């Protein structure tokens, strides 16, 4: 179907496809660096990611250096319409120096900032509280040993300084997201003390004031992880209370809740108590497996909530998935484009009519509309979006993804 025909079909429902396309172009998505190298990073040490995070698979072409990762990202961004962001983790430093986590400085990330400036994209940042000898107990900021806590507090402070300078240099606010793996494999006897230690460490770490136009703090909760099945110190309740009391952003990772929970449903509730939200859009399969996101109901509902609740202006959309069984660059492109497709579908919904039906308790019309709308020509509008950005679709996309993967894996 041609775009013009699709446009007319949506217009019949009172939906303007041009407005939707225009809004979609202006929604930045924070693409996570760690899909490109299986969450390994560029510290001069070996070892696995730890903290219950694990990328599985051995597909050829893992980025082994910052230059390779940047080349892969550049390719991925060239297949994703719009201007987006890169989400960097502290362990992805680019330097010949070998600073420990409590020694990192802005200079160690300068090549990333230069590159982002050249690309005209913003950066987000994350302290790395895993994949380190001092995190081997799966305890960092809540460790009973004050020396270990101090080490991680210093890492967190430095990460905030770096994130602030990144934001100031690029002229775009940098979200600095704190996730710690802290927890217990078996049932702890004193959960409260662990949570008090985490709270005190966070208070110290976040004590310095930073300009919000340069950097915003976020905290990420989790239900459980491999090795910390019995108790996660930074649970949802812990961080929801913390973020509300301290005025940080709350990060909702879609893999960090019970599988039957609807994460989209949480947005409007937390939005009443928080200024801004960070999302880690992910696809958990039975557990926090971080599969590449699809146009699944979970993602479509999340996008619909963002649009219908008018939360796009104060939600930072970050991605968090990693699959090493397929082309890593393709994973980025497919996942990010799926997030955009979900947003496009939401932007094309006749929301005013749906809201009116709901307000009138006319649930029959509401259901008829949502189900009839599933047959609308969303694909033709998406094709128009990519064509205007001079980017391929379908067979053309497969060819491009394959061409890059083949040349990359041949090279490495």
Q: Which of 72, 320, 323, 400 binds ligand RNT (CB under 6 A)?
A: 320
Residue of 410, 403, 411, 412 lying closest to 75 (CA atoms): 403
The DSSP-derived string for 21-80 is: HHHHHT--EEEEGGGTTTS--S-S------TT-------S----SHHHHHHHHHHHHTTS
Provide the 3-class DSSP secondary structure of residue 363: helix
In terms of DSSP bridges, do strands 287-291 and 283-285 run parallel, antiparallel, or are they unpaired? antiparallel
- Taking the alpha carbons at both ends of the chain, their separation in whole angstroms is 41
* 285, 257 contact by CB (below 8 A): no
Q: Please list, in sequence order, all residues whose beta carbon lies within 8 angstroms of the beta carbon of residue 144, skipping any fewer than 6 positions away.
A: 197
256 catalytic, yes or no?
Answer: yes
For position 72 contacting Zn ion by CB under 5 A, the verdict is no
Choosing among Zn ion, ligand RNT, none, which partner's interface includes residue 404 (Cβ < 5 to 8 Å by kind)? none
Least distance (Å) between residue 45 CB and Zn ion: 23
Query: What is the CB neighbour count within 10 angstroms for residue 78?
Result: 13
374 catalytic, yes or no?
Answer: no
132 catalytic, yes or no?
Answer: no
For position 280 contacting Zn ion by CB under 5 A, the verdict is yes
**Which residue of the set 256, 266, 316, 341 is catalytic?**
256
- Judged by CB under 5 A, the number of residues near Zn ion is 3
**Which residue of the set 37, 43, 276, 290 is catalytic?**
290
Query: What is the CB neighbour count within 10 angstroms for residue 179?
Result: 25
Least distance (Å) between residue 41 CB and ligand RNT: 10
Q: Which of 179, 242, 378, 404 binds ligand RNT (CB under 6 A)?
A: 179
190 catalytic, yes or no?
Answer: no
For position 320 contacting Zn ion by CB under 5 A, the verdict is yes
The owner of tokens 């051995």 is 58
**Taking CB under 6 A as the criterion, which residues in 242-301 touch ligand RNT?**
253, 280, 288
**Taking CB under 6 A as the criterion, which residues in 65-124 touch ligand RNT?**
89
Q: Which of 62, 165, 210, 222 binds ligand RNT (CB under 6 A)?
A: 222
Distance of CA 304 to the CA centre of its chain: 17
102 catalytic, yes or no?
Answer: no
Please identify every residue annotated as catalytic: 179, 220, 222, 253, 256, 280, 288, 290, 320
Q: Which residues bind Zn ion (CB under 5 A)?
A: 253, 280, 320
Binding site residues, ligand RNT, CB under 6 A: 34, 39, 53, 89, 126, 179, 220, 222, 253, 280, 288, 320
């Amino acid at each position: 179907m041609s775009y013009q025909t699709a446009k007319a079909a949506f217009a019949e429902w009172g939906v303007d496809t041009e407005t939707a396309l225009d809004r979609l172009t202006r929604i930045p998505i924070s693409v996570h660096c760690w899909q490109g190298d299986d969450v390994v990073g560029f510290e001069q040490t070996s070892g696995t990611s730890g903290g219950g995070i694990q990328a599985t698979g051995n597909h050829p072409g893992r980025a082994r250096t910052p230059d390779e990762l940047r080349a892969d990202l550049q390719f991925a961004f060239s297949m994703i319409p719009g201007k987006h962001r890169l989400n960097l983790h502290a362990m992805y430093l680019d330097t010949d120096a070998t600073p420990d986590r409590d020694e990192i400085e802005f200079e160690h990330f300068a090549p990333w900032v230069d590159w982002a400036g050249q690309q005209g994209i913003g950066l987000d940042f994350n302290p790395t509280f895993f994949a380190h000898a001092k995190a081997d107990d799966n305890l960092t900021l809540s460790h009973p040993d004050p020396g270990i806590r101090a080490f991680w507090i210093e890492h967190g402070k430095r990460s905030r300084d770096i994130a602030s300078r990144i934001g100031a240099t690029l002229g775009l606010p940098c979200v600095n997201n704190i996730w710690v793996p802290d927890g217990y494999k078996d049932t702890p006897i004193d959960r409260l003390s662990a949570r008090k230690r985490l709270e005190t460490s966070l208070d110290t770490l976040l004590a310095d004031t930073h300009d919000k136009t340069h950097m915003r703090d976020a905290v990420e909760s989790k239900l459980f992880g491999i090795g910390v099945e019995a108790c996660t110190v930074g649970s949802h309740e812990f961080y929801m209370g913390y973020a509300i009391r301290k005025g940080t952003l709350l990060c909702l990772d879609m893999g960090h809740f019970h599988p039957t929970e609807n994460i989209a449903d949480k947005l409007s509730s937390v939005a009443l108590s928080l200024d801004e939200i960070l999302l880690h859009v992910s696809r958990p399969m039975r557990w926090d497996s971080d599969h590449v996101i699809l146009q699944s109901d979970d993602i479509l509902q999340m996008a619909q909530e963002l649009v219908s609740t008018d939360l796009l202006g104060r939600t930072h959309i970050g991605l968090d998935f990693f699959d090493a069984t397929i082309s890593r660059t393709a994973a980025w492109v497919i996942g990010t484009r799926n997030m955009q497709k979900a947003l496009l579908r939401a932007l094309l919904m006749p929301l005013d009519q749906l809201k009116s039906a709901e307000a009138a308790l006319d649930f029959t019309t509401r259901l008829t509309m949502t189900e009839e709308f599933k047959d609308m020509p969303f694909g033709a509008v998406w094709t128009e979006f990519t064509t205007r950005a001079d980017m391929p679709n379908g067979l053309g996309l497969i060819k491009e993804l394959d061409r890059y993967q083949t040349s990359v894996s041949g090279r490495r």
